[in-house]
Amino acid sequence: MSLSRHTLRQLKFVLPGGLITFWLGSHHQLWSIIKGEAQVDHWARLAALASLGSAIVTVALFSYILLVPLIQGQQPNYRRWREHGVLSSVIPTLTASIVLGWTALSYTLGRWSPLGYLEGVVAASGLYALAFGLLGLIPAPKVPRQ
């Protein structure tokens, strides 16, 4: 089996992100806060849900960007996204959701889990690296030239 260069590049995110996530158990920590299993206050659950909501928005926007060629029937120039009507508004929104989600997750894990702030930042970064590595493995559809 031969892996493409793109796949190998994405594995640079998937492997460390997966190892950090597994090692720190950050997904379990976040889930226990969301489910209310951890003995935390209302604000902890709200912050955890906000970080999860932001992650869902991030995945939805990333998926939308991948589907733009199928929706519009033309291949956008991703390098010149500022000149593309849809991408010029979606990409800044995507960037904001990434920053807000990572910040909320780092704070949530640092403040309300046994990890503490330093490991909370590392855990959030690991989860995001894993998620972006996996999202990057989704092939972008190509629109046939007419």
What secondary structure does DSSP assign to 54-94, as a single string? HHHHHHHHHHHHHHHHHHHSS---GGGGGGSTTHHHHHHHH
pTM recorded for the entire structure: 0.89
Look at the chain and count its residues: 146
Give the residue extent of every domain in the chain: 5-57+98-136
Q: Are the beta carbons of 102 and 123 closer than 8 angstroms?
A: no
Query: Which has more confidence, 59 or 67?
Result: 59
pLDDT of 22-38, one tens digit each? Answer: 999 999 999 999 998 87
